[in-house]
Copies of this chain bind each other. A is one copy, B any other.
Amino acid sequence: MNSADLVVMERIKRLKYRYMRCLDQKRWDDLATCFTHDAVASYSGGRYHFEGRDAILEFLETSMGAETFLSSHRVHHPEIDLTGPATAHGTWALDDVVVETAWDVTIRGAAFYEDDYVLVDNVWLISHTGYRRTYEEIQPRGEVPGLQLTASWFIDQGRSSLGAD
């Protein structure tokens, strides 16, 4: 590993961070630019498997597009291996929380991602992504005594109502 490799790794990390941010901010057009045209995604141990950027995007937008679907997908522990001048492999740890008020649920989980990246026209893209769950759980929100949602990205610019009169 040398200094030039670190620059490549930082570019790949930035790609992944942009992907995660666009997902939680529902920036679908920006999100599409993270993938190769023929990218493959295999989320949740293969339960959600899609071939091609369009199919992946359609799935993400359909399943996570509602403004009542508030998500925090966070990736950690990047282990990026440069496997060639234009290819790389990445392992990441995921923690995610979904608050879906329309379905009255909270979903929490953890997983490990295995990704492949390729350099196309001097831009790093995701060619394959997928994760295997360590655990996942779901909980009805309405049965939690006193639980209150006090902020949402889509209401009042994400401003908290905590303790407001």
Contact = CB atoms under 8 A, between A and B. Distances in A.
A127 to B, nearest CB: 21
Q: Which of A7, A107, A134, A146 has the most CB atoms of chain B within a 10 A radius of its CB?
A: A134
A158 B99 contact: no
A137 to B, nearest CB: 5
A72 B70 CA distance: 20
| Copies of the protein in its oligomer | 3
Given A9-B10, A11-B1, A138 B162 contact: yes
A83 interface: no
Contact of A151 (B2, B133, B160): B133
Interface of A: 1-7, 9-11, 14, 16-18, 20-21, 24-25, 44-47, 70-72, 74-79, 91, 93, 95, 97, 99, 107-112, 131-140, 143-153, 156-160, 162
Given A24-B93, A72-B93, 6 more contacts: A6-B6, A21-B93, A45-B159, A70-B134, A95-B95, A143-B146
